[in-house]
Structure 1
Amino acid sequence: MTARRATLIGASAILLWSTLALLTTLTGPIPPFEIEAVAFAVAGLVGIVWMAARGRSPWSALRQPPVAWLLGVGGLFGYHFLYFLALKSAPAAEANLINYLWPLLIVLFAGLLPGERLGRRQVLGALVGLAGTSLLVTGGRGIAIDPAYLPGFLAAAGAAVTWGAYSTLSRLLGAVPTDAVAFFCLATAALSALCHWGLEATVAPDAGQWTLLTLMGLGPVGAAFFVWDIGMKKGDIHTLGALSYATPLLSTLLLILAGRAQPSGVVAASCLLIIAGAVIASWKPRRA
């Protein structure tokens, strides 16, 4: 597989993640850890069925070194745990803004990997994308940092570091097959269920909500992690990091199309900045 194709495959995760906010709003009162438990369980089970259908043994994917389990489960579950904790402990706009430092961290961390080089163009593109995301998340109104929300801000920062580290360190575990992500999802589902039982009240989903949870497990909380693994291991990490800033933008656009958000000049300006950042970071001038 070429690096270009792997990058395109990895970029499809961004499209899938952009549907998560809309699907989550449609699930109504179902609490977040219950959503994650069900969706990750669907993702893991579908991954195992997919392996079996293609003649690959699920058990060979299950047998991975401890470091792979630590990174896989720590990345998937650790990120979501810290993100939900941040949203419960700090205002959503500020927490989201800090959380969306992870695309910039991917670009920066990637420069430390063997065989990779961090250039000024990648850093500039990531910063321009961060500016666009900041504008989108804050609505152009700025933010007020209240020390009372420090635990939530720290949790959001931890979420950003966790996902940035998980994404880039996956490159060092290229020998771990993407099929193993199915079992990382099942472990994440089990840990999310424990958090749900300990922290939340169960809401019994109706037929429509079960359909939405299944779609989440097939898409933004399922296939997205498999294709992202391919992109991180075999694609252009710098480009994928910069393109990741499109996630909140595409998510907002979908909410607007669904009538759950309003279009504005802020969204348009954010769009231009995020696109500009991605172009700057991924631009490769022709050699003479």
Structure 2
Amino acid sequence: MRNQKQAMLFGLATVLLWSTVATAFKLALRELSPVEMLLIACVSSVLVIGAILVIQGRWHLVFSLRRQQYLQSFGMGLINPCLYYFVLFGAFDRLPAQEAQPLNYTWALVLAFMSVPFLGQRLRKLDIIAGLVCYAGVVVIATRGAVTSLSFSDPLGVALAIGSTLIWASYWILATRDTRDPVVGLFLNFLFGLPVIALICWLTEGFQAPPAGALAAAVYVGAFEMGIAFVLWSYAMKKAENTSRVSNLIFISPFLSLVFIYFILGEQILPSTYVGLVLIVSGLWLQQKKVRNREQALAHGS
């Protein structure tokens, strides 16, 4: 049954978790390489999502798929978690959290643009304006305010952050054709991706006991960012009477994230970060306006 109050509570809980993960990324990456962190986080995520399926009485669904869907799980797992999180963690390894987090946040806009050729959706004037506003914010953050010089603080780090948005948007476009149960699908993606991550870690870094603090941070990322947050957000969407109101909660996340980054990581938040983040969120808000208008039109027509 739909319940807007419950949907908002699930949504707020998800936003709170998303707001902490940039800080957790940096804490783990102080002592772990991106692939070591990914291995620990992926193991944690598999265990947590598996436990959720058992608690919900849906564990049997893991074994009820067709052979083609298990092959699909392997292919999707190569994208997420393998490729996406390796690139994302690489960006956080090179950039301050206050820069990497907002840049990655533009994936929603990338998804809107990629949906035009791949899903046959229309590109409207509002999408173009939103894109210009959003990427103006990206330039402000990536250059730390030195916009006219176009001198990026870390070109490779910026490229990895932007690249992660392309990978994540591609993943969601492929997911539109995914008929698996969402939580079961996520569990299998991570389960099939885990051996690949373990092999890469063994070949590049080897296996060694991580420091306790870094281990805790990586486990937190796997349990909450990769696992519980996804489940909570899916509940929020299922319960919502008005999905736009719930979706708008995500605009709180990047600003709340700066609070954790400042107080826990001790990063001095640059003025350019605030300016760029306001531009990015404004662009995303404009892009979402089209969705809100469509929902209102459907509501009036029913």
TM tier relative to shorter chain? 0.7 to 0.9
1:232-243 superposed matches below 5 A: none
Residues 243-275 of structure 1, C-alpha deviations (whole Å, 9 max, x = no match): 978766554442113252113322332232233
2:27 equivalent to 1:26: yes
**Residues 239 and 282, structure 1, Cα contact 8 Å, conserved in 2:** no
2:46 equivalent to 1:44: yes
User: Equivalent of 1:272, from 278, 283, 293?
Assistant: 278
Shift of 1:140: 1.1
2:221 equivalent to 1:216: yes
Change in Cα spacing, 1:58 to 1:144, as seen in structure 2 (3 Å) is farther
Per the alignment, residue 114 of structure 2 pairs with 109
- The structure that is helix-richer by fraction is 2
Gaps of 5+ in 2: none
Q: d(CA) in 1 for partners of 2:238 and 2:203?
A: 35
**Residues 255 and 261, structure 1, Cα contact 8 Å, conserved in 2:** yes
1:139-218 superposed matches below 5 A: 139-142=144-147, 143-144=150-151, 158-200=163-205, 202-218=207-223
Residues 53-89 of structure 1, C-alpha deviations (whole Å, 9 max, x = no match): 111134536735123431243232122234456778x
Q: d(CA) in 2 for partners of 1:79 and 1:130?
A: 21
Residues 178-230 of structure 1, C-alpha deviations (whole Å, 9 max, x = no match): 32211212233322222222112545234444332322122123234456778
- TM-score, normalised on structure 1? 0.73
Shift of 1:99: 6.1
Q: d(CA) in 2 for partners of 1:122 and 1:230?
A: 28
RMSD over equivalenced CA pairs, Å: 4.3
Q: d(CA) in 2 for partners of 1:21 and 1:248?
A: 9
Gaps of 5+ in 1: none
Shift of 1:233: 11
**Residues 104 and 241, structure 1, Cα contact 8 Å, conserved in 2:** no
Per the alignment, residue 55 of structure 1 pairs with 57
Change in Cα spacing, 1:107 to 1:36, as seen in structure 2 (3 Å) is same
Change in Cα spacing, 1:79 to 1:164, as seen in structure 2 (3 Å) is same
Per the alignment, residue 263 of structure 2 pairs with 257
Q: d(CA) in 2 for partners of 1:231 and 1:118?
A: 28
**Residues 40 and 215, structure 2, Cα contact 8 Å, conserved in 1:** no
Shift of 1:234: 12
**Residues 83 and 155, structure 1, Cα contact 8 Å, conserved in 2:** yes
**Residues 16 and 224, structure 1, Cα contact 8 Å, conserved in 2:** yes
Change in Cα spacing, 1:34 to 1:225, as seen in structure 2 (3 Å) is farther
- Alignment identity in percent? 25
Change in Cα spacing, 1:86 to 1:190, as seen in structure 2 (3 Å) is same
**Residues 11 and 228, structure 1, Cα contact 8 Å, conserved in 2:** no
Other structure's SS at 2:176 match: helix
